[in-house]
Amino acid sequence: MDWLNYHHLLYFYTVAREGSMTKASKLLRLAPSTISVQIKTLEDSLGSDLFERRGRRLILTEAGRIAFEYAEDIFDLGQELTNIFHGRSPQTTTRLRVGIADVLWKDIAMQILAPAFEQEQGIRLTCLEGSFDSLLAALGTHDLDVVLSDSQLPHSSGIKAFNHLLGKSSIAFFGAKSLVREGSFPHSLNGVPLLLPTTRTSLRRYLDQWFVSENIRPFIIGEFDDSALMKSFGLAGEGIFPAPKVVEKDLLERGLINFGDVKNVVQKYYAISPERRINIPAVQEICDSAREDVFN
């Protein structure tokens, strides 16, 4: 029988979790060279390389990602064993790894994910924010269980995954009262400083078409990939910005006003998963709840 050296596994797990040999060496109080030798021994015993070096970065290989997931389970079980013998209640949890597109409104993401914590079985939620393309790549390598986005998976992506429509929301412009100008909406937007999503987003493409149809020349002072940053500038009174009507209540409570609703522009929201029929209960729960409670 081949025996696994758990010290070597711990060294590998720490480096993978911290993202660098230097950080891991400080935590483990071992020299980087010592850790490197032990990881090499582990790789030899498993018969696979666990890391590949890209410049100064260590990147997990496919085998490394598999080993990391097993290592997480192993050390979680070890912690559970320790808790039991120290009189602490064991915490049985299920990991849920969610990718959140940076353009997705964070208040909406929170509303979608909140029901995951209400399940009888505990959930350990890991949220990773990034560009839509990078999250799809992580989904394709099984580093994520689901991706939340306002765009659906394009047919040309080459990734085997499926779109699950969660709901949709109309759009309105919000901002500080001090930015109100004379005239009726939407022509009151002419000359007003606007904060908009970048041109790579679906919402921006729809808004650009709407500006043309309404004969509006937008005075754009800021473009954002991150909806949370756009919201922060809007709350500071720097400009007017578009937001889904589903978060209108929160924005009004924070002192902003609704400048007007955008007709015929609707934003859709998707959960993208590796399977056509979702087989992770927590993912199914958040999808059902989003359809019934968030976007109903």
Q: What is the DSSP letter of 95?
A: E
Q: CA 220, CA 111: separation in Å to the nearest integer? A: 30
Based on the domain organization, do 221 and 178 belong to the same domain?
Answer: yes
What pLDDT, on a 0 to 100 scale, did the predictor assign at position 219?
94
Residue type, 176: A
| Count of domains forming the chain | 3
Q: Are 53 and 19 in contact (CB under 8 A)?
A: no
Based on the domain organization, do 144 and 231 belong to the same domain?
Answer: no
Does residue 193 belong to any structural domain of this protein? yes
In order along its 296 residues, the chain shows pLDDT tens digits of: 578 899 999 999 999 888 888 888 998 999 999 999 999 999 999 999 999 887 777 888 888 888 888 888 888 778 777 877 777 655 556 778 899 998 899 999 999 998 877 765 667 788 988 888 889 888 887 788 899 998 888 877 777 888 999 999 999 999 999 998 878 899 999 989 999 999 988 899 999 999 999 999 999 999 998 899 999 999 999 999 999 999 999 999 999 999 999 988 999 999 999 877 777 788 888 889 899 888 87
* Cα-to-chain-centroid distance, residue 83: 31
CATH code for the domain in which residue 32 is found: 1.10.10.10
Based on the domain organization, do 197 and 140 belong to the same domain?
Answer: no
DSSP assignment of 157-206, as one string? G----EEEEEEEEEEEEEE-GGG--SS-TTGGGTTSEEEEE-TTSHHHHH
What pLDDT, on a 0 to 100 scale, did the predictor assign at position 182?
79
Does residue 114 belong to any structural domain of this protein? yes
Backbone angles phi, psi at 101, to 5 degrees: -60, 135
pTM given for the model? 0.68
The C-alpha angle 232, 125, 68, rounded to 5 degrees, equals 120
Based on the domain organization, do 160 and 206 belong to the same domain?
Answer: no
- Token pair belonging to 228: 């949370």
Q: CA 266, CA 171: separation in Å to the nearest integer? A: 6
Based on the domain organization, do 32 and 179 belong to the same domain?
Answer: no
Range of the domain at 58: 6-85
Q: Which residues contact 246 (CB under 8 A, 6 or more apart)?
A: 108, 169, 294, 295
Does residue 1 belong to any structural domain of this protein? no
- Token pair belonging to 126: 């890991």
Based on the domain organization, do 148 and 183 belong to the same domain?
Answer: no
Beta-ladder partners of 173: 242, 260
What pLDDT, on a 0 to 100 scale, did the predictor assign at position 183?
82
Domain boundary among 85, 118, 147: 85
Residue type, 173: F
Based on the domain organization, do 30 and 156 belong to the same domain?
Answer: no
Domain boundary among 85, 107, 134: 85
Does residue 153 belong to any structural domain of this protein? yes
- For residue range 114-164, what is the model confidence (pLDDT) as tens digits? 887 776 566 778 898 888 888 988 888 778 889 999 888 887 777 788 899
The C-alpha torsion from 268 through 237 and 200 to 148, rounded to 10°, is: -40
CATH code for the domain in which residue 216 is found: 3.40.190.10
Based on the domain organization, do 281 and 250 belong to the same domain?
Answer: no
Based on the domain organization, do 230 and 245 belong to the same domain?
Answer: yes
Based on the domain organization, do 160 and 283 belong to the same domain?
Answer: yes
What pLDDT, on a 0 to 100 scale, did the predictor assign at position 92?
56
Q: CA 258, CA 269: separation in Å to the nearest integer? A: 22
Does residue 150 belong to any structural domain of this protein? yes
Does residue 262 belong to any structural domain of this protein? yes
Q: CA 135, CA 99: separation in Å to the nearest integer? A: 6
What pLDDT, on a 0 to 100 scale, did the predictor assign at position 88?
65
Could you tell me how many residues make up the chain? Answer: 296
Based on the domain organization, do 191 and 260 belong to the same domain?
Answer: yes
What pLDDT, on a 0 to 100 scale, did the predictor assign at position 154?
80
Domain boundary among 66, 85, 104: 85
Does residue 186 belong to any structural domain of this protein? yes
CA-nearest of 99, 103, 100, 101 to 199 is 103
What pLDDT, on a 0 to 100 scale, did the predictor assign at position 260?
94
Residue type, 71: A
Based on the domain organization, do 259 and 273 belong to the same domain?
Answer: no
